[in-house]
Amino acid sequence: MYTNPSDEKIKELLTRCKTIAVVGLSDKPHRDSYKVAAYMQSQGYRIIPVHPRVKEVLGEKAYKTLSDIPDKVDLVNVFRKSEETPPVVREAIPLKPAAVWLQLGIINDEAAQIASDAGLEFIQDRCIKVEHARLLGNGKQE
């Protein structure tokens, strides 16, 4: 059974990782993916949207897939259905991110195993915005 890294490890990742590819990032401001990415961007992170039908989100060019991203990615944040996450993790591996992060409510043990086998940190069923505010912010989640 997979368990998430410690608070210390999550804090270290959030401190070290400055470029976040967000898979499933919507361009609709009322969606959770947009709200979370906007918060992270407001905290100084570079957001790289990954969505097959979106051209731009939060002033950043969107890419259809992770493999289309030409830049270094520090962390992959995933807003996809749980059953869709193993292929996302496989696609993330060549980018060599420090971690793959599945948002709150997204849990997949196969994805966890794929990430572990590739030497990637893996976090699931946690909101990166909530964790950032709790561990590095002022406690507010804006």
- Give tens-digit pLDDT for 113-138: 999 999 999 999 999 999 999 999 76
In this predicted structure, what is the pLDDT of residue 101?
98
In this predicted structure, what is the pLDDT of residue 137?
78
The CATH number corresponding to 7-135 among 3.30.565.10, 3.40.50.720, 3.20.20.190, 3.40.50.300 equals 3.40.50.720
Which pTM value belongs to this model? 0.95
What residues pair up with 122 in beta bridges, in sequence order?
100
- HSE (CB half, 13 Å, CA atoms) of 50? 24
Amino acid at 138: N
Give the CA angle between residues 24, 105, 70 to the nearest 5°.
25
pLDDT-based confidence at residue 2 (cuts at 50, 70, 90):
confident
- HSE (CB half, 13 Å, CA atoms) of 121? 22
pLDDT-based confidence at residue 142 (cuts at 50, 70, 90):
very low
Amino acid at 130: V
Alpha helices in 43-138 (DSSP H): 85-92, 109-117, 128-135
Write the CB contacts of 103 (distance below 8 Å, at least 6 apart in sequence). Answer: 32, 33, 36, 77, 78, 79, 126, 127, 128
Domain boundaries, the chain: 7-135
pLDDT digits (tens, 9 = 90+) for 51-101: 999 999 999 999 999 999 999 999 999 999 999 999 999 999 999 999 999
In this predicted structure, what is the pLDDT of residue 134?
95
CA distance linking residue 76 with residue 88, whole number of Å = 9
Sign for the CA dihedral angle at 35, 135, 47, 44 comes to positive
pLDDT-based confidence at residue 3 (cuts at 50, 70, 90):
confident
Taking residues 13-34, report their average pLDDT.
97
Contact 76, 21 (CB under 8 A): yes
pLDDT digits (tens, 9 = 90+) for 9-23: 999 999 999 999 999
Kindly give the pairing relationship between strand 56-57 and strand 60-61: antiparallel
